[in-house]
Structure formats: structure tokens, C-alpha cells
């Protein structure tokens, strides 16, 4: 893996990551000709771009693009806006991602893409509407921190 990361004092955060894992042997043994054997043996070859950057006073742009070069498909894409003031903050994120259950081995043709629109609002000193958006951003953008108010 190789990563380039940029984080400045004005709140701009950029990440460019390349992941490569070579798999010389099969993890699971399948009968000859089983199409799953190629998926399990395949190398991991991915590129991941993410950012969180100020747009204007109190506004930030948030985005991620994670692409699997081995299977020629997007693993996760999202874009959103975040507003933060002295008393409250709100985030809106549109997301498309691969939904997979690693407890079962499935071929890549059975991997489903999911699409969602996520909104979160939080008032200073009070509970918010949930943490789903914060989790998506924290897990998808290395170094992301929700704005403090």
C-alpha cells in the first residue's frame, strides 16, 4: 500500500491511497471450473480518494471514491455537504456502496450496490438524530473529525 495525505490548518483534508495485495495461493479450495475460485484467488488492487474541504464560511465539501481495479467496479462513492455554526451542525451525504456479507463467499456478480441519502442534525448541548452520517464520514475519510461548536 501507498498513501499520500494532506491536512492543513484551514481544515482541508485530502487522501490518495493505493492498495495492492498479492494472493499466490487459494484461500479456499473449490472444484475445478468453479467461477468462485477466481474471485477468491484474485489479487486486491484498489484506489481510494477522499477529501473534506471548506467551501465557504461554515460549509464543507465531503467526498470519497473507492474503486476496485481488479474487478472494474466501484466499492463506495459518496459526496456530501456539512454545515456548522455556533449552535448546530447538519450533514447531508449521498452514497453508493457495495453491500456484502463476508460470512458467505459469493461471486462478484452477486454483490449488490446500495444507494442511500443520509441526513444528520445535531444541536449544541443536545442529542442529534443519530450517528450514521458521522460513522460513514469517519470510516470513509481518513482523518475526518466532525466540526466542534
Residues 102-145 have pLDDT tens digits of 545 555 556 788 999 999 998 887 766 667 899 999 999 999 99
Contacts of 111 (CB under 8 A, 6+ apart): 73, 98, 99, 100
For residue 113, is it within any domain? yes
For residue 38, is it within any domain? yes
Of the listed ranges 72-76, 80-84, 137-141, the least confidently predicted one is 72-76
Residue-number span of the structural domain to which 36 is assigned: 2-140
Q: Which helix (H) or strand (E) holds 58?
A: none
Average pLDDT score over the chain:
84
The C-alpha cell at 120 is: 444528520
For residue 147, is it within any domain? no
The predicted model gives 53-76 an average pLDDT of 93
For residue 100, is it within any domain? yes
Q: pTM value? A: 0.82
The predicted model gives 55-67 an average pLDDT of 96
pLDDT beyond 90 at 147: no
For residue 54, is it within any domain? yes
Alpha-carbon distance of 92 to 51, in angstroms, equals 15
For residue 148, is it within any domain? no
Of 82, 90, 94, nearest to 57 by C-alpha is: 82
In total, how many domains does the chain have?
A: 1
How, if at all, do strands 73-84 and 88-99 pair? antiparallel
Alpha-carbon distance of 111 to 137, in angstroms, equals 22
Of the listed ranges 1-15, 63-77, 111-125, the least confidently predicted one is 111-125
Amino acid at each position: 500500500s501507498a498513501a499520500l495525505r494532506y491536512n492543513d490548518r484551514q481544515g482541508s483534508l485530502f487522501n490518495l491511497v493505493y492498495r495492492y495485495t498479492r494472493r499466490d495461493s487459494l484461500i479456499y479450495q473449490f472444484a475445478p471450473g468453479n467461477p468462485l475460485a477466481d474471485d477468491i484467488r484474485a489479487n486486491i488492487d484498489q484506489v481510494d480518494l477522499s477529501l473534506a474541504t471548506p467551501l465557504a464560511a461554515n460549509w464543507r465539501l465531503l467526498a470519497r471514491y473507492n474503486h476496485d481495479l481488479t474487478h472494474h467496479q466501484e466499492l463506495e462513492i459518496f459526496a456530501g455537504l456539512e454545515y456548522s455554526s455556533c449552535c448546530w451542525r447538519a450533514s447531508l451525504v449521498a452514497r453508493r456502496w457495495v453491500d456484502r456479507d463476508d460470512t458467505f463467499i459469493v461471486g462478484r456478480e452477486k454483490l449488490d450496490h446500495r444507494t442511500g441519502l443520509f441526513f444528520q442534525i445535531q444541536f449544541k448541548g443536545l442529542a442529534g438524530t443519530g450517528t450514521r452520517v458521522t460513522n460513514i464520514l469517519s470510516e470513509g475519510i481518513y482523518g475526518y473529525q466532525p466540526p466542534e461548536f
